[in-house]
A and B are shown apart, each in its own frame.
Chain A
Amino acid sequence: MNTLRFITAGNVDDGKSTLIGRLLYDSGSIHTDQLGILQKQSKLQDDIDLSLITDGLRAEREQGITIDVAYKYFATARRKFIIADAPGHEQYTRNMITGASNSDLIILLIDARKGITAQTKRHASIASLMGIKNAIVAINKIDLVNYDQSVFDSIVNAFESLKKELAFDEVHYIPVSALKGDNIVKNTNNTSWYKGKSLIELLEAIELNENKNALPRFQVQWVIRPKDEAYHDYRGYAGKIISGRYKVGDEVKILPANITTSISKIERHQQAVDTAYAGENVVLHLEDNIDISRGDSIIPKAENITATQSFRTWLSWLDNAPLQKEKTYLLQHRFKTVRIKVDSIDQLWDVNNWAFKDAENIRLNDIAQVSIRTNQGLVVDSIASNTANGYGILIDESSHQTVAAIMFL
């Protein structure tokens, strides 16, 4: 099985850190010396505070909050997992976006006593917008509502109607108590009315779409030209196949130059292969000697895609300084970096009220649809049609900070 990367999102008191602590603890991923340190840190000496497993930095402990995405690793006999622990504070939404961009699945944690909140909607919307297709709604603290099935059912119903607005392929619902361990590793008698899988069983079973049948896309990351005696004529184009598959003999076009040639050889792990698939690092060799550099795209000739210079995109603003419309920014799409200007802010998404509105500015944590122009052509797809080729980042030219996430429409 491939590794499953997931993010956990919820309000600050929904027990997210406890849930992660529980997954790590029950899967035996916490070492004894780390437990010793946890007990030392915990206010109650004999009781392990599971949330301390993820609250790493002293600066955070002093403030009692999580300020950054922490990555945690655990494995069961069936699968390896990477958890992106993103904080629930609204002012740190940018970390949620970072975590979501590196996840295949989202666990939305809902406090059974509170039900769906504005923050739940916000997190679900962001995950959906960023192309995450799988969601698990974990209705936590089910012990605090006396394991009442009707509470669970009403939250499920509420989320089902919310789901219509989202682009998830699949949503699973589980009643859990992260603190008590109900339905985390195995189902407990406390929720005998729940017949589904436990959280771990579900995480082990979910299959991911690996983009192998998606549109074939490849961008040159690095040109390998050894320039020594043994490899005098060697010229290979190294990169990761973004999506789809590539085959020796494929007729291809080089974009943006729009020159056609064909693939003469594909190397994977220093061995010649006939076909290569999404996610694999390969070195492509072409029939003709063409001047190609980093950032150029190699696409099958029949594909109906060209390099374009104006786009509508989602923009998720991550920087303290707001967007300046008159300023140029750098846009990094994989290995190609171009200059852009935002022509117009088309609409701002008020995720708390699930409504669009007009806006003059885009500030930290805002999500908006904008129209942009680039100084060079980009070969992109919409995030909805081909996630892996539908995103980019915006970089401030003077501070070099990553100021926004871009999802192409």
Chain B
Amino acid sequence: MSTISKHLIALEDEAIYIFREVAAQFERPALLFSGGKDSIVLLHLALKAFSPGKIPFPLVHVDTGHNFPEVITFRDQLVAATNSRLIVASVEAAIRKYNLKEAGGRFPSRNALQTYALLDIIQEYEFDACIGGARRDEEKARAKERIFSVRDDFGQWDPKLQRPELWDILNGKISKGHNVRVFPLSNWTELDVWNYIKSNAIQLPPLYYAHQREVIHFQDKLVATSDVTRAVQDDIVTVEQVRYRTVGDMTCTAAVPSQAVTIDEIIEEIFNTRISERGQTRLDDQVSETAMEDRKKQGYF
């Protein structure tokens, strides 16, 4: 524990407290692990909550098939290093099983299809609590999210049915078939996450740091070229010094121009930026004003 502010310690205490509540109140919890920075921080906090014991639940990765390869490599290394159990839910398998149609457009997102794989794996393993890294500062629909968010048999979230969450008491009682999404990082901001990564010297996939990458200039965003995001005629393609501020699918996450190669430079960059994390990097949130609210109602994380 190096120089860590009182504020960060309080956030860490809160998250550890939530993890222990999940372990105590649920039969079969799971930690949803995307390989992104928020879920890496979650794993780190879970290790602390149960140390020197093991984490009493598996990690679940919803693999869209459009992940950055370096994130998958990092995921597997981290799972091995922490002696965790990993379950992979495949979106491609769900597409075949349900004969799902891919989204249209230039860079079709599999976000909507992710829900099928997630709900399937919840049903298969009878998970009653799924822990995720969503934060209330990310987006307006998330600002009203509970720490324990109850979902019905269809994985649906109804803002009007959420329980009042009083003091630090978490009510995890649910009916059969229902499950709870748990958000230990609810009160963290993007800057808090980075400061915590710094103070705990947490390793991240390399694409979070500035590097050279071939990108397509698409509208006002930079999209990495890959097998699933190929350049077409008339595209402007250049090699730029970029980094990723969020890590989702290759088809829906944009890179940002950046010279920040150290964590201090990243923190400085975020501190000075005037555009939100999702606004700068997500190609899929801006389709409609209420895109996130709609997806959440359908069972999206």
Contacts and interface: CB of A to CB of B under 8 A. Distances in A.
Interface of A: 1-3, 28, 31-34, 37, 40-41, 54, 56-59, 67-73, 75, 80, 82, 94-95, 97-98, 101-102, 221-222, 224-226, 230-231, 234, 238, 240, 269-271, 279-281, 294, 318, 330, 332, 334-335, 391-393, 395, 400-402, 405
Given A41-B289, A58-B293, A69-B144, 17 more contacts: A1-B7, A2-B10, A33-B276, A67-B159, A68-B159, A71-B187, A224-B53, A225-B53, A280-B13, A330-B173, A334-B169, A391-B167, A391-B169, A393-B171, A400-B171, A402-B163, A402-B166
Given A32-B274, A281-B13, A334-B169, A94 B164 contact: yes
Contacts of B10: 2-3, 279
A240 B13 contact: yes
Contact of B51 (A3, A94, A270, A395): A270
A392 B301 CA distance: 29
Interface string B110-126: 00000000000000000
B164 A95 contact: yes
Contacts of B290: 57-58
B154 interface: no
Contacts of B174: 400
A240 B160 CA distance: 31
Interface string B14-52: 001100110110000000000000000000000011111
A86 B24 CA distance: 30
Contacts of B163: 401-402
Interface of B: 1, 6-7, 10, 13, 16-17, 20-21, 23-24, 48-54, 136-137, 140-141, 143-144, 159-160, 162-169, 171, 173-175, 186-187, 189, 273-276, 279-280, 289-290, 293
Contact of A56 (B24, B53, B141, B273): B141
Contacts of A280: 13
A30 to B, nearest CB: 9
A102 B166 CA distance: 7
Given A32-B275, A67-B160, A318-B164, A226 B144 contact: no
A279 B13 contact: yes
A98 B165 contact: yes
Contacts of B141: 56-57
Contacts of A395: 171, 173
Contacts of A101: 166-167
Contacts of A31: 273-276, 279
Shortest beta-carbon contacts, A-B, top 10: A33-B279, A56-B140, A31-B276, A400-B173, A226-B53, A98-B164, A222-B20, A101-B166, A70-B143, A58-B290
A21 to B, nearest CB: 12
B137 A73 contact: yes
Judged by DSSP, the binding face of A is mixed
B52 A2 contact: no
Contacts of A240: 13, 17, 168
A113 B169 CA distance: 39
Contacts of B49: 238
A61 B20 CA distance: 37
Given A71-B187, A221-B24, A270-B48, A97 B166 contact: yes
Contacts, number: 143
Contacts of B13: 240, 279-281
B137 A68 contact: no
Judged by DSSP, the binding face of B is loop
A2 B164 CA distance: 25
Contact of B48 (A72, A97, A226, A269): A269
A139 to B, nearest CB: 27
Nearest to A54: B143
A395 B173 CA distance: 9
A280 B14 CA distance: 9
B293 A57 contact: yes
A281 B9 CA distance: 10
A45 B17 CA distance: 45
A19 B189 CA distance: 21
Nearest to A98: B164
A40 B53 CA distance: 51
A102 B146 CA distance: 12
Nearest to B17: A240
Nearest to B13: A281
Kindly name the residue among B16, B53, B54, B165 whose own CB sees the greatest number of chain A CB atoms within 10 A: B53
B52 A231 contact: yes
Contact of A226 (B1, B52, B280): B52
Nearest to B47: A270
Nearest to B165: A98
Contacts of B166: 97-98, 101-102, 391, 393, 402, 405
Given A280-B13, A332-B171, A97 B164 contact: yes
A95 B168 CA distance: 15
B77 to A, nearest CB: 23
B4 to A, nearest CB: 10
B206 to A, nearest CB: 26
Contacts of B169: 332, 334, 391-393
B112 to A, nearest CB: 18
Nearest to A37: B289
Nearest to A36: B279
B9 to A, nearest CB: 8
Nearest to B174: A400
B20 A221 contact: yes
A400 B175 contact: yes
Contacts of A3: 7, 10
10 contacts: A32-B279, A34-B276, A56-B141, A58-B293, A71-B136, A71-B144, A240-B13, A270-B48, A279-B13, A402-B164
A231 to B, nearest CB: 5
